[in-house]
Amino acid sequence: MLKNLLSKEECAECRICCSFDSYDLWETPVITRSKASQILQDYKPEQEFVKQGGHFLLKMEKEPDADLYYCSLLDHSKGCIMGNEKPFDCRIWPFRIMSLDGTNVITLSPVCPIVKTRPLDKIMKVCSEISGEIFEEAKKHPEYVKPYLKGYPIIAVERDA
Ligand code: SF4
């Protein structure tokens, strides 16, 4: 979550980005090999992963009576157990890095209910402050880049960064 856009308290109360239904399981954070080691060593030794190409996803259990998966690193009373060491996808939320026709773009998640209450100029300012860093990180870790999804507003294009 971007601290310049969302407060810790707002995110702690909402947590929509830490729960998934079967449609948006693709949004679960990409876990690199080094992040997986860090999770096992420092946060949750029993965590299981699902391998996807060269990276991993967190194995999450479906709730028994709903099409709902809570992130396996979510503590329901305290929030994410990883604190400031969250996976990249979670650190840049509600921004997403996506590929549209071969060009990396930063999009804004239409799902986050809190960012919708922020003025557009504030969102764009935060985006311009960190877009270079996001694009750089995506170059190092192409696995972070998700295919563009219709309905996600584009707020930065890599060639503009
Ligand atoms: S890793 Fe942490 S911030 Fe990311 S989805 Fe899981 S609980 Fe939420």
CA of 18 to the centre of ligand 1 (A): 5
Cα-to-centroid distance, 114 and ligand 1 (Å): 17
Q: Name every protein residue with a CB atom under 6 angstroms from any ligand 1 atom.
A: 17-18, 29, 71, 73-74, 80, 82, 86-87, 90
72 Cα nearest atom in ligand 1: 6
DSSP helix/strand/coil, 70: strand
Q: Which residues contact 124 (CB under 8 A, 6 or more apart)?
A: 155
Q: Are 12 and 79 in contact (CB under 8 A)?
A: yes
- Compute the distance from residue 72 Cα to the ligand 1 centre, in Å: 8
Strands 69-70 and 74-75: unpaired
pTM exceeds 0.85, yes or no: yes
The tens place of each residue's pLDDT in the chain, 161 residues long, gives 688 888 888 888 888 899 999 988 888 999 999 999 999 999 999 999 999 988 999 999 999 999 999 999 999 888 899 988 999 999 999 999 999 999 999 999 998 999 989 999 999 999 999 999 999 999 999 999 999 999 999 999 997 55
Q: Which of 38, 27, 144, 24 has its CA nearest to residue 82?
A: 38
